């Protein structure tokens, strides 16, 4: 839609075909229904791709501040939840309405429930659909990835790219919750629904990745912003380490309390700095009746290990059904980073998540959608 109206307002005839029964479903559900529509601090370092430089040009051509200008033009109230992260103050519907209004003003036609059966290329593009057949000079593929199939996600964009001679980078679910093995899950099932700020880490290609954010225990494993962010770097079968109290040194706190309150129960002391449910789960059979003055070195080491160096190996992830985005996609080597036109097929464009460009959690993937769409539109209107 963003590419469509930016093309349409330059007196180009534009048609948007969507197989879903409703446009913008991912916009509507994003950000808990309030759409984290951009991040003002976006740089190319916030994206992963086989070509780490690919996204630089687009982000330079169309910045988060330019999208914010459009949002303000439509008088959409927004809030900054974390540094740079902008959300709608009211509802994601405000962003979808903005896009639809811009499309209407630009004369863009949008057809829903339109399944594309075949695309062929012979001087121009011929598109056979369940509604009727169409012909166009320029074709933009903005089909997204495989994430959240219940909202209509498919691999259609990848199929068209391969049909046209493009290579693919292996896809995987990203920004996704971790699952735990049944035996491990049984140990921590009482923690489901508990959230707390943590520091989580994993090793990726000999580099340690550390994420500081909130974590949520679920009935399937681990979720929350910290886990979703870490999942972008985690490799199947590898261990993660969790610091459950990143802002304090639990051993120093216990030693300090021991001086002032030697007869206080260790469990009661820990309950003051860590959620009680978590303390009981981690230590109930080991420290139940232990007083601070009774703590010995092995017990202190155990506490330090469990709270600051808790190690787990996820059994996997929840997969595409709950993933925020799809990592991998169309190889960017055969796509122009300035115009997003295919280097193989003239006037064929790929934008957004369908490409091998994956942003971190926090509004980056939406900004990638706007920036890549803008670049493609600018090139099309020159033709």
Yes or no: domain 2-171+329-380 corresponds to CATH 3.40.50.720: no
Task: Answer for the pair 27, 96: CB distance below 8 angstroms, yes or no.
Answer: yes
Instruction: For the chain, give every domain's residue range.
Output: 2-171+329-380, 177-317
Q: pLDDT tens, 81-119? A: 999 999 999 999 999 999 999 999 999 999 999 999 999
Task: Answer for the pair 64, 364: CB distance below 8 angstroms, yes or no.
Answer: no
Mean pLDDT of the chain: 96
The CATH superfamily of 177-317 is Translation factors (2.40.30.10)
pLDDT score recorded for residue 205: 78
Report angle CA 251, 257, 261 to the nearest 5 degrees: 145
pLDDT score recorded for residue 145: 96
pLDDT score recorded for residue 181: 96
pLDDT score recorded for residue 129: 98
3-state secondary structure of 355: strand
* Distance, C-alpha 71 to centroid of its chain: 21
Measured in Å, how far apart are the chain's first and last C-alpha atoms?
A: 20
* Distance, C-alpha 64 to centroid of its chain: 17
* Distance, C-alpha 342 to centroid of its chain: 26
Task: Answer for the pair 68, 40: CB distance below 8 angstroms, yes or no.
Answer: yes
How far, in Å, CA of 189 to CA of 276, rounded? 15
* Average confidence (pLDDT) over 141-156: 95
pLDDT score recorded for residue 206: 76
- Measured on CA atoms in the order 101, 103, 105, 107, is the torsion positive or negative? negative
């Amino acid at each position: 839609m963003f590419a469509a109206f930016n093309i349409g307002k330059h007196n180009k005839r534009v048609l948007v075909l969507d197989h879903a029964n409703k446009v913008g479903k991912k916009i509507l559900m994003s950000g808990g229904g309030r759409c984290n529509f951009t991040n003002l601090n976006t740089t190319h370092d916030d994206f992963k791709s086989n070509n780490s430089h690919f996204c630089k040009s687009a982000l330079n051509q169309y910045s988060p501040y330019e999208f914010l200008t459009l949002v303000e033009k439509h008088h959409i109230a927004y809030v900054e939840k974390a540094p740079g992260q902008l959300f709608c103050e009211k509802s994601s519907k405000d962003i979808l309405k903005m896009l639809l209004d811009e499309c209407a003003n630009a004369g863009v036609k949008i057809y829903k429930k339109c399944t594309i059966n075949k695309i062929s290329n012979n001087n121009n593009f011929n598109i056979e659909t369940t509604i009727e057949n169409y012909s166009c000079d320029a074709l933009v593929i903005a089909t997204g990835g495989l994430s959240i199939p219940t909202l209509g996600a498919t691999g259609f964009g990848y199929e068209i790219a391969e049909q046209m001679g493009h290579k693919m980078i292996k896809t995987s679910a990203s920004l996704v919750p971790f699952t735990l093995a049944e035996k491990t899950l049984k140990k921590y099932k009482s923690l489901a629904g508990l959230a707390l700020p943590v520091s989580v880490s994993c090793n990726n290609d000999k580099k340690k990745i550390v994420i500081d954010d909130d974590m949520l225990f679920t009935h399937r494993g681990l979720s929350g912003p910290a886990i979703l962010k870490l999942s972008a770097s985690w490799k199947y079968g590898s261990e993660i380490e969790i610091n459950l109290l990143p802002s304090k040194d639990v051993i120093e706190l216990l030693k300090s309390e021991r001086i002032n309150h030697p007869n206080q129960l260790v469990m009661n002391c820990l309950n003051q700095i860590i959620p009680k449910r978590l303390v009981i789960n981690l230590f109930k059979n080991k420290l139940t009746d232990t007083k601070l003055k009774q703590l010995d070195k092995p017990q202190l080491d155990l506490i330090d290990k469990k709270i600051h160096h808790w190690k787990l190996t996820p059994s996997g992830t929840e997969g595409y059904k709950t993933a925020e985005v799809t990592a991998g996609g169309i190889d960017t080597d055969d796509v122009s980073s300035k115009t997003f036109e295919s280097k193989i097929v003239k006037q064929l464009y790929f934008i957004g998540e369908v490409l091998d460009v994956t942003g971190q959690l926090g509004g980056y993937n939406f900004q990638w959608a706007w920036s890549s769409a803008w670049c493609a539109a600018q090139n099309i209107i020159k033709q």
